[in-house]
Amino acid sequence: MAVERVATGLRWAEGPVYFPAGRYVLFSDIPNNRIMRFSEDDGHLSVFRQPSMNSNGNTIDREGRLITCEHSGRRVTRTELDGSITIIADKYNGKKLNSPNDAVVASDGSIWFTDPVYGIGGYYEGVKAEPEQEKHNVYRVDPKSGDVKVVVDDFVEPNGIAFSPDEKKLYVIDTGFTDGPDNPSHIRVFDVDVGAGKVSNSKVFAEMPKPSITDGMRCDSAGRVWCSVGWGDPNEDGVRCYAPDGDLLGKIHIPETVANLCFGGQQRNRLYICGSTSLYAVYTSAQGAMKP
């Protein structure tokens, strides 16, 4: 189960999502303002969308549609099956979102996303602008009404987001350490009521070794949490796997800063890893949680 570099030539790879119907991975190349497509059948890398509004996190809904968080658009969009784009969320309380970062879709169709300020901090990964939302929130979009509601409002910089396979837990990364040494670099976990759109019993699930941060994560079918590590000690660059109780089970070392990852492959046992300039892949003995 060796790690392979399956594609390179990127500036900052982020937000991978696997589409089983086409056997390909879509992922963002944020500063190059494009979404890339890696075809699993023949290893071909191509541009899926450019410009991408400096897209960051991507996920897939139950109908096989692409959900994308866009920095320069300051919005969350859905790519319909005919290729048209629907805006899911771009405002809250009449004011623009900061810069949606990552999203996950629950089994009821609700879309949950994080909204830090990274995409408006400069011109490298978005368009520099002043934040209009006072707090850096985690939001939920109602699947029927489309209403956008705040789920959690006490993050410094909410980042990656994932549900446990049974949708009883919500994991959210806080990368506030980027804003100051006393801020968190960890994963928080909540009990969640998906239908009601409410969370409770917040606690720290896993601390990252500062100055490294984790950025994105996915769960496998057994409820283990796989997360990225980067931006700190090069010896920590790669992927960490945690048991559902928060115990660190192991690490996958990657020679670049890793921002995000997803499971793919026909058996859901191929872990795709976005490592800065390259896309890596490794077969695992675990299977990704297909839903959510």
What does the alpha-carbon distance between residue 76 and residue 15 come to, in Å, rounded to a whole number?
Answer: 13
With beta carbons less than 8 A apart as the criterion, state whether 268 and 288 touch.
Answer: yes
3-class secondary structure, 35? strand
Residue 92 banded pLDDT, cuts 50, 70, 90: very high
What does the alpha-carbon distance between residue 287 and residue 270 come to, in Å, rounded to a whole number?
Answer: 8
Instruction: Supply the mean pLDDT for the chain.
Output: 97
Task: Give the per-residue pLDDT at 292.
Answer: 58
What does the alpha-carbon distance between residue 261 and residue 238 come to, in Å, rounded to a whole number?
Answer: 10
Taking Cα atoms as reference points, which of 119, 153, 138 lies closest to residue 31? 119
Tens of pLDDT, residues 168-221: 999 999 999 999 999 999 999 999 999 999 999 999 999 999 999 999 999 999
Average pLDDT over residues 5-34: 98
* Sign of the alpha-carbon torsion through 180, 126, 8, 58: positive
Residue 94 corresponds to which tokens in the numbers above? Answer: 């009449």
3-class secondary structure, 129? coil
Q: Is 268 left (phi over 0), alpha (psi -120 to 50) or beta?
A: left
Q: What are phi and psi of 120, to 5 degrees?
A: -115, 10
pLDDT value at 291 more than 80: no
What does the alpha-carbon distance between residue 83 and residue 133 come to, in Å, rounded to a whole number?
Answer: 30
- DSSP state, residue 240: E
Cα torsion through 77, 169, 262, 255, rounded to 10:
120
Residue 63 banded pLDDT, cuts 50, 70, 90: very high
Lowest mean pLDDT among 128-137, 153-162, 282-291: 282-291
